[in-house]
Amino acid sequence: MTTYTTIAEDTRPLHHPKTWIGKYVWSQDHKVIAIQYSLTAVGVGLVALVLSGLMRMQLAFPGMLEFITPDAYYQFVTMHGMIMVIYLLTALLLGGFGNYMIPLMIGARDMVFPFVNMLSYWVYLLSVIVLMASFFVPGGPTGAGWTLYPPQAITEGTPGAGWGIIMMLTSLAIFIVAFTMGGLNYVTTVLQARTKGMTLMRMPCTIWGIFVATILGLLAFPALFVAAIMMTLDNTIGTSFFMPAIISNNVALDHSGGSPILFQHLFWFFGHPEVYIVALPAFGIVSDLIATHARKNIFGYRMMVWAIIIIGALSFIVWAHHMYVSGMNPYFGFFFATSTLIIAVPTAIKVYNWVLTLWRGDIHLRVPMLFAIGFIFTFIHGGLTGLFLGNVSVDVPLSDTYFVIGHFHMVMGVSPIMVVFGAIYHWYPKITGRMWDTMLGQAHFWITFLGVYAIYLPMHYLGFLGVPRRYYEMGETAFVPESVHLANVGITIAALTVGAAQLIFFYNLIYSYFKGRKADPNPWGATSLEWLTPDTPPAHGNWGPDLPKVYRWAYDYSVPGAAQDFIPQTTPPGPDETPHDH
């Protein structure tokens, strides 16, 4: 067995580009693909950010911006939601961080199929182009709400019911093809291409989160794919999968016997795992940020890994908690409420373990750590309101109010974005070889962190008052007091401030890329493999002539008796050291 070399150790298959275009455009290097994915995702995310600013303007100052018609408002709602969830977060966390980190952290030279990986990016770009093109088709993009519920998504009167919805569904189907090509690569790479000594239970939590999230994606996106095909057929050739007999504008449509609820089931069978596709990589990354910057091993590593796996598995049996008010059998509500609340157990374990990792740690409040701790706050906050909405009887009055908006923005909008920022600050020195400016980073953190509370905390209050979401304007409604209008103005000011503060972030990254001081190869004293590459930024092929050998888990921080307060994963065990068998 000693002579057996794995496929990963064979360096011959590696593709070596010669031209500039081969290196940076049609690149098969996982790091370049990761950057391409990230830049595209952030670019399209900025569009969604601007849309949210416009929506806030309308809510706070109705009618001030005249181009925001009711139709435009619904189109902004829809595009903002879909872009943020799928084209920004999913693409950035899996296509961006997944691509960059998996081969580096498990000690591989690249993904197992670099060509398929490259295709994945270009197909993703195509899906983004199709989505953006829907802004320019007759009737504009779809305004069906990001959940695209039929029958309204494709009936007359909904903005974009002609072209817009078809562009959206097409773009989603293309995205799923792109994701599948990338996802197969990520899973196979983690399973089959790890370096010597890198057992699954020695992988950093980052990889565990990305790995399980990718599996979720591969099993959940099919439901959306099927739903997209069926709705396209309903819309174009007149099938009736989702369309019941319906009268629209006094005309009976040529549909009958379909099931709108079926679409909701398919959509949420994808949609709920999607929450964890975004959350699990964030969970994993934040575990590593906290351990590294608190100079302590992550508390309960095995438990953390199992919690990720259990959350991933449970996420497939909770989808109908999005449908309590859709007219479901109450016994279903009972089942889905129970499974939903059970997910709180592994999730709470993770939160306790993060806090226990911080407990008596040697905490360095560097910018990535600030964002990691900020994440714990926003995530606990959003998680607790999730308990409200998971219970049927509490959810019914809160459904479709601003409470829901506040909840899911805290838990799956702000929280993963906090981790994304933390992760970018954390790995920026490795990716670019330069160091960012600390003052600007701190300013960025504090404005963002305090700002999101100023945005979303009042929304919970609005929700309790019963203010419905997705309304173009409140007008003179008896149950909506004056304080709601005041709160809306405050929220909008906070939202625009936070939006503008992101310019600090981009300025910091761009300026530092050219003018920042040269970064140390391992500025945080981290243990995992990506910090131990011979070159910073890592060169094509990542490692020198030989792959690194791993002797320990990624969390040997502040080991008593060790020379430094961290021991890299490649350091063999000392003579009087009992190896940490994780």
Partner 1 sequence: MSQNTHVATEPHSLETLVSDWSTDQEVFKKVQWGKAMMWIFLLSDTFIFSCFLTSYMTVRATTMVAWPNPSEVFALTLFGENIPLILIAIMTFVLISSSGTMALAVNFGYRRNRKATAYLMLATALLGATFVGMQAFEWSKLIAEGVRPWGNPFGAPQFGASFFMITGFHGFHVSIGVIYLTIIALRVLNGVYDRNGKYEVVEITGLYWHFVDLVWVFIFAFFYLW
Tell me if 529 contacts partner 1 by CB under 8 A. no
Q: Out of 65, 129, 191, 387, which residue is the one contacting partner 1 (CB under 8 A)?
A: 191
**572 near 551, Cβ under 8 Å?**
yes
Q: Judged by CB, which is closer to partner 1: 173, or 467?
A: 173
CB of 21 to partner 1, least distance (A): 27
Which residues 6+ apart lie within 8 Å of 35 measured at CB? 96, 100, 431
Q: Judged by CB, which is closer to partner 1: 62, or 222?
A: 222
Tell me if 75 contacts partner 1 by CB under 8 A. no
Burial of 293 (0-12, 13-18, 19+ CB in 10 A): buried
CB of 6 to partner 1, least distance (A): 5
Tell me if 158 contacts partner 1 by CB under 8 A. no
Q: Which stretch binds partner 1 (CB under 8 A): 63-71, 224-232, 284-292, 466-474?
A: 224-232
Q: Judged by CB, which is closer to partner 1: 54, or 262?
A: 262
Run of H or E including 251: strand 251-252
Tell me if 45 contacts partner 1 by CB under 8 A. no
CB of 416 to partner 1, least distance (A): 23
- How is residue 209 written in tokens? 């989160």
Q: Judged by CB, which is closer to partner 1: 245, or 348?
A: 245
What's the CA gap between 169 and 174, in Å, rounded?
A: 9
CB of 7 to partner 1, least distance (A): 6
Tell me if 572 contacts partner 1 by CB under 8 A. no
Tell me if 187 contacts partner 1 by CB under 8 A. yes
Q: Which stretch binds partner 1 (CB under 8 A): 61-69, 196-204, 510-518, 569-577?
A: 196-204
CB of 471 to partner 1, least distance (A): 31
CB of 9 to partner 1, least distance (A): 9
CB of 261 to partner 1, least distance (A): 8
What's the CA gap between 247 and 268, in Å, rounded?
A: 27
CB of 581 to partner 1, least distance (A): 10
- Residue reference for tokens 């990718």: 214
**447 near 418, Cβ under 8 Å?**
no
Q: Judged by CB, which is closer to partner 1: 243, or 289?
A: 243
Which one, of 489, 412, 503, lies nearest residue 455 by Cα? 489
How do 251-252 and 247-248 pair as beta strands? antiparallel
Q: Judged by CB, which is closer to partner 1: 23, or 582?
A: 582
Tell me if 11 contacts partner 1 by CB under 8 A. no
Tell me if 188 contacts partner 1 by CB under 8 A. yes
**Binding residues for partner 1 restricted to 281-320, rule: CB under 8 A:** none
CB burial string 325-354: b at 16+ within 10 A, e below: eeebeeeebeebbebbeebbebbebbbebb
CA angle, residues 150, 155, 157, in degrees to nearest 5: 125
Which residues 6+ apart lie within 8 Å of 156 measured at CB? 248, 249
Q: Out of 184, 213, 231, 294, which residue is the one contacting partner 1 (CB under 8 A)?
A: 184
What's the CA gap between 162 and 144, in Å, rounded?
A: 11
**346 near 361, Cβ under 8 Å?**
no
CB of 4 to partner 1, least distance (A): 8
CB of 233 to partner 1, least distance (A): 6
Give the contact letters, 245-284, x = binds to partner 1 (CB under 8 A), - = no. x--------x-xxxx--x--xx--x---------------
CB of 219 to partner 1, least distance (A): 5
What's the CA gap between 528 and 570, in Å, rounded?
A: 8
Q: At what angle do helices 70-82 and 163-192 cross, to 10 degrees?
A: 10
What's the CA gap between 275 and 253, in Å, rounded?
A: 35
Q: Judged by CB, which is closer to partner 1: 193, or 411?
A: 193
Phi and psi at residue 321, to the nearest 5°: -70, -5
Separation in Å, CA 535 to CA 271, 436, 478, 578: 40, 19, 66, 32
Could you tell me how many residues of this chain bind partner 1 (CB under 8 A)?
50
Give residue 6's Cα distance to chain centre: 33
Tell me if 112 contacts partner 1 by CB under 8 A. yes
Counting Cα atoms < 13 Å in the Cβ hemisphere of 204 gives 34
Which residues 6+ apart lie within 8 Å of 29 measured at CB? 17, 23, 110, 114, 540
Tell me if 185 contacts partner 1 by CB under 8 A. yes
Q: Out of 69, 192, 338, 477, which residue is the one contacting partner 1 (CB under 8 A)?
A: 192
Q: Out of 82, 161, 205, 223, which residue is the one contacting partner 1 (CB under 8 A)?
A: 223
CB of 103 to partner 1, least distance (A): 13
Residues of the shown chain interacting with partner 1 in the complex, contacts defined by CB under 8 A: 4, 6-8, 112-113, 180, 183-185, 187-188, 191-201, 218-223, 225-227, 229-230, 233, 237-241, 245, 254, 256-259, 262, 265-266, 269
